[in-house]
Structure 1
Amino acid sequence: MSYRKLSSLPLQDYVKSSLSKTSLRTVKDVLLLSPLTVMNMLHLSADQCKELMDYLFSLCVPPKLSAYEMEEMEQHNSIPLGSKALDTLLHGGLLSGSLTEFVGPPGVGKTQWCLYITTKLLTAARGGVHPSAIYIDTESAVRPERIVEMMTNRYPELSSDIPQLLSRIHMFHPKTAASMLEILESLECVVVEKDAGVVIVDSIASMAVSLSSTQPKASQLSSWASKLKSLAHRLNICVVVTNQITTVHEPVPSELSLGGEPRPHPRHQVVDGRESALNQEDREVDPAAPEPHVLDHMGEGKSGRVCAIPALGNTWTHCITTRLILQYCADSAARQIVIAKSPVSPFAVFSYIITQGGITIQEKDCCYSYSGQDPGQFRIRVQEGIPLDTA
């Protein structure tokens, strides 16, 4: 809180005018000074200085809330996903004040889920207030005509209101990590000004590729996650990010191989694929951990199998509040959404299909378990390819 921009605070005009003539930019800059210095710099009376300093100090102290108040706040601004069973497990859908991640292979529907969530928010008036959405599109994957198609098919009664609904989607298109950081720094002002109910970053992984090499990528990603989680908590809104996958070679245990050298421990595993640079820093497994028993589906004598897992590594996994994994089904045209990490829900799997109206979750095709799996090492099913008839 101490790093909040002074320009984003609801201060008196004469205080803002005085601050603009100084080098003070954040709350911390002011609080590091003595009251007498602040009085002289800003030309304030003793009472005015005390009022300003007390207000700035209050911003740095987390507000006290009861459990009941927290529950009310979450329920008020949560975004339902359209499935009674799924929303029940998630305690209302996407919880406000938290950071939710959708991760999956290319083409599985991550952007479709983001657009679906956006339309759900825009078409749900809350107490007569119509919130807006902030959409940070890092891959230029959003097509306005797809949003129109979703709204037209799912909410035909709102067809005449589509232009007005589209005007409440505020888009950003950062191309570098530096431009992404600038957006995150000013995001709070934008959310307050536009009365946004959700912030979507699609995708966070594509921006991570261009992060500076002067400091560890895990540290920079943690900084981004901290800004997004702080924003969600302070303003009690939903923040959604999408992530990509990376591939790892799982070795075959030595007892399954046909002689030769023993297979390496997973901490020596080779990381490759498009996002490999994002995982090399924190992909290592604890050296003291026991070697897992890995079944080789490529046949005996093979060196191992290639598995898809969430990108950005274990540090990022600990930063997010909820992880929802999207994957392809082995024997079905439907796809699956997996609750891999959640503070309120058990490990669960639901099937869904992408339609003209957005996302349709198949209520009857679901299962859940309280045993779960490691959300950072979950093996994601990808689409291996579509055979073409060339005859």
Structure 2
Amino acid sequence: MAFFVDVSVRSLNKHNEELCGDKVEVIRTRESVIIILSDGLGSGVKANILATLTSKIIGTMLKEGASIDEAVDTITQTLPICSVRQVAYSTFTILQIFNDGHAYIVEFDNPSIAFFRAREAVCLPWKERIVHGKRIRESELQIFKEDIFVMFSDGVVHAGVGKILNMGWQYDNVLEYIQKNVRKNPSVNMLAGQIISACSSFYQGEPGDDTTIVAAEIRQPSHLSIMAGPPSDPSMDAAAVKSFMDCPGAKIVCGGTTANIVSRCIKKPIKTILEYESPDIPPIAYIAGIDLVTEGIITLNKVLKNLKDINKGAMEQYNLIYRYNDGASKLTRMLLDRCTHINLYIGRAVNPAHKKQEFSDALGIKTEILELLAEKLDLFGKEVVKIYY
């Protein structure tokens, strides 16, 4: 079964803490995808260190073929002892999805993973056992496309304690909320965003605990290609456009010069739209056979900012990209929700207007923006290939 594991992660730091005490590690190997959510004891720097050590140790050992027993034993012997509570551990959830179509789940003291098939919650079969003094729960199952797993730290369950909800959100209510959103959200990115947004609301913007959501879906691989910037040599125009057009999936063109090159090479006219959805973002255009045509550097900068804000947990910005239809919002949505694999066709020609120092300082060079865009998309679990021409 050919599939891709689409993973979306959202976190809130405990109020007044610069570091999150939860840590998520996503490791893709030839045999499997390993997702680890660890929750360090307490909060702040100490919790961050515990969670990071736990996720790194487990991830590295499982990647190298070690058993969960060996990983738990190593964690037990490695983590420092808390001088106050005299305990040394980080809770964790492990989801390992193998290429042969089966999944293995391990939980230690984290809220239980939520699993959905055909958009409906399904109870998993669990076995409990003691591993080096730690009681863990394990489950194995066959996976199918569109199966969804949702992992979360106890900051989700405790959301609202002492504020809106006296006893916190509580697990059953969290599960009910996730179920409603699984049915209506087209992507795990939107699903994770909705859940973490609800947590932020319950905490009234001041989280009382580190709060993390990890949503993973078994998807059919889907492709999207972006062409931005003309080739360094005009004689390469036709070859670059042919390669771009031959790619499977959605196609996006960014930049007026690039759009003109594509239009000429595929012999399709450009239809320019003069109506502004947003005064800050230039309007989009249309070319038959191209899914989206946008202005270049301003739009790409805004997309990069959107991804940075969303990755930091800025829920207001996240909600705005689904409310507006300007070029940057549309492109951000397509990158997050419509694809698993992205080809970036990056032109090396230098636009004379971008050589001016004041313009460069304000907006950056297009190539640099695309490099940063690739880095951010990698954080969102996308497989990105960069093609220079």
Superposed pair shares fold, TM > 0.5 = no
| Larger strand share, 1 or 2 | 2
Which TM-score applies when normalising by structure 1?
A: 0.30
Which TM-score applies when normalising by structure 2?
A: 0.30
Answer 1 or 2: higher relative contact order, Cα 8 Å, separation at least 6.
1
